[in-house]
A and B are shown apart, each in its own frame.
Chain A
Amino acid sequence: MTAGSIARFLGRRVAHSAVVLLGVMVVVFALVQLVPGDPVRIALGTRYTQEAYDALRAASGLDRPLLEQFLSYVGNALTGDLGVSFRTGEAVAGTLLERLPATVSLALVGVVIALVVALPAGIWSGLHEGRVSDAVVRVVSQAGVSVPDFWLGMLLITVVASGLGWLPSSGYVPIAEDPVQWARRVALPALTVGLVAAAIMTRYVRTAVLEVSHAGYVRTARSKGLPASVVTGRHVVRNALIPILTITGIQLATILGGVIVVEVVFAWPGLGRLTYDAVAARDYPLIQGAVLLMAVMFLLVNLVVDALYSVVDPRIRLS
């Protein structure tokens, strides 16, 4: 019965995501259609030959009817063909895959940092509601939510890289090549995204712990004489982990799609930096590909979180 209800819930969620994905593709496809003027001409700049123009236009399929263009765009995208970059002439999908590891590694380290900070801070704060330590955590986390991430990055560069000279301010080394150099270079950008995410997550962890600690079963556990550590560990924290799982997933998705500015600050060669360069160069197929990939990652992470959620908490799939 439970397996069946999980499957039904997941089926609904996958169907919903598929509908949203189709909508996402409409938006991404429309990007190029909405460009005022001729995107091919904009991409080529002022000096180009008629042959170059015709070739690029034909290669990008912009000379065909709209519906045909859209259907072939969807068909190609589903088979992994995202077109060809206006600027480099290389396959967009290949370029995106090249940049993906840098962004994913940055996002994962960032989320780990966020969890390391937010879990203890949020749980402590929630268990000590109204005390001074709780107030301190709340003020610091509220401040953290209000800090522009790229400014925090600039401050870290100013202090840690330029001032103290402890870590490099930019550059990227793949982890497989040299793990130590990778770690030294990922530290500052990951700290930047991680601390901002930690501020947001602390608030959610605190709320989750607070809500659970006011629940009837926690009161029962206390009144039947269980030690505080057992009540906290077995009843409060364990149940609070369910909403914490969600916010962790959302933060991971947010970082994956939101590291654009931080990647620019640290010259981190990930998807964000690529998207920025593509926007600056008006390389529309590359912009489309990057936007589509990030939106798909966003959808996938949310889907996985919902799936985990439904396994952990039966109330979700029944509602």
Chain B
Amino acid sequence: MTQVDPTAGSAAGSAVGPGAGSALFAATVGLAGNAPPRAGAWRLFRDNPVSVAAALVLLVVLVVGLVGRWVAPYGINAVDVANALQPPSGAHWFGTDDLGRDVFSRVLVATQVSLRVAFVSVAFALVVGVGVGVVAGYRGGWLDTVLMRVVDVMFAFPVLLLALAIIAVLGPGTTTTILAIGIVYTPIFARVARASALSVRVEPFVQVSQTMGTPSGYILRRHVLPGVSGPVIVQTSLSVAFAILSEAALSFLGLGVQPPEPSWGRMLFDAQGFLGLAWWMSVFPGLAIFVSVLAFNLIGDGIRDVLDPRQRTLLQARRSTRVPGRRRAARTGGAA
């Protein structure tokens, strides 16, 4: 007989625990273990105009990140003091900064810098966090307890504060910023992955696999990781959004990306002294951050909606009941 972990039935719920900030991630973790029938997920995603719009915006942002350096009309450090602090015009779409540098060109090039920091740091968090979470959830026992206590400790620090502390130790700079953001977002992935792994572990097909003597490595690759992937994809999109914000905050404090490389946050740092004088210096880099973060957030939400079984049925029900009267009846709890 296979032994069933009595606590695992409520894995998705109990894994969240009463600890700090957990409610914020409960929504993601709630998806855990419903290794979803993916067919149709893409269609549902495609049918959501908000998700499609966000995906298009994101595509533009990514393309700018890739080619921005080559299409920028001016050099990022082309100082032109005679034309300093010029408002937006035909020659300088986003105006010029206090050194006469073209804000538009700098925003374009900064896209690459800011996205690179966000992607690499989230990739770090994803690999380490999912690894830790899957091992903890699948193995259980003392290893799980120890790893999750470490995660609890990391959750006790506000995100930006922990990143600042890491930078205080390692010194400012782009590499440190990537590492700091990566470390800070690792525990989220660990929790999400652990919750999914816990619930996959008790699925009959995994239990059977185990009794048949299948090696753990194979079970992890074949069964556990695919079950974890849904929530992790959602978390990745949301984390990239947060990572962009964190990089911007750290660079704004002068501790992240260092000159001469421009990043959106660093541009806002430079704009601080000119808030009343040159609004364009702060408005455009901030808008770039806002639009990118919004796109990643919306896509994360969109993916969550189509992967979450409860939301799925809702969406599918809405698709099939296009008659307004019936929809209202369903909403108010009447018999549809």
Contacts and interface: CB of A to CB of B under 8 A. Distances in A.
A88 B227 CA distance: 54
B20 A258 contact: no
For the complex of A and B, the 6 pairs showing the least CB-CB separation, nearest first, are A257-B158, A162-B276, A23-B153, A151-B286, A146-B294, A146-B293
Contacts, number: 171
Nearest to A220: B333
B152 A23 contact: yes
A298 interface: yes
A275 B294 contact: no
B186 to A, nearest CB: 14
Contacts of A169: 275
Given A23-B149, A154-B286, A261-B252, A295 B157 contact: yes
Contact of B168 (A163, A222, A284, A299): A284
Given A275-B164, A279-B255, A253 B20 contact: yes
Interface string A143-162: 10111101100110110011
Interface of B: 10, 13-14, 18-21, 23-24, 27, 149-150, 152-154, 156-162, 164-165, 167-170, 241, 245, 248-249, 252-255, 265, 268, 271-272, 275-276, 279, 282-283, 286, 289-290, 293-294, 297-298, 301, 327, 331-333
Contacts of A146: 241, 290, 293-294, 297
Contacts of A162: 275-276
Chain B at the A interface: mostly helix, strand, loop or mixed? helix
Given A146-B290, A287-B168, A299 B297 contact: no
Contacts of A319: 10, 13-14
A222 B329 CA distance: 13
Contact of A154 (B158, B254, B275): B275
Contacts of B293: 146-148
Contacts of A99: none
14 contacts: A20-B156, A23-B156, A24-B156, A35-B169, A146-B290, A148-B268, A151-B268, A253-B20, A254-B158, A258-B158, A264-B252, A278-B168, A287-B165, A319-B10
B152 A275 contact: no
A20 to B, nearest CB: 5
A298 B156 contact: yes
A33 to B, nearest CB: 9
B168 A154 contact: no
Contact of B301 (A142, A219, A265): A142
A154 B271 contact: yes
A204 B25 CA distance: 12
Residue from B20, B159, B268 whose CB has the most chain A CB atoms within 10 Å: B20
Contacts of A155: 282-283, 286
B165 A31 contact: yes
Interface residues of A, number: 68
A151 B290 contact: yes
B268 A222 contact: no
B157 A24 contact: yes
A204 B330 CA distance: 23
B164 A260 contact: yes
B272 A154 contact: yes
Contacts of B297: 142, 145-146
Contacts of A299: 20, 156
A148 B290 contact: yes
Contact of A150 (B159, B162, B268): B268
A36 interface: yes
B165 A129 contact: no
A130 interface: yes
Interface string A1-15: 000000000000100
B53 to A, nearest CB: 11
A19 B151 CA distance: 12
A130 B168 contact: no
Interface stretch (A46-54, A57-65, A179-187, A242-250): A242-250
Nearest to A42: B171
A282 interface: yes
Contacts of B282: 151, 154-155, 158
Contacts of B150: 23
Interface string A242-286: 010011001001101110110011000000000110111010100
A222 B333 contact: yes
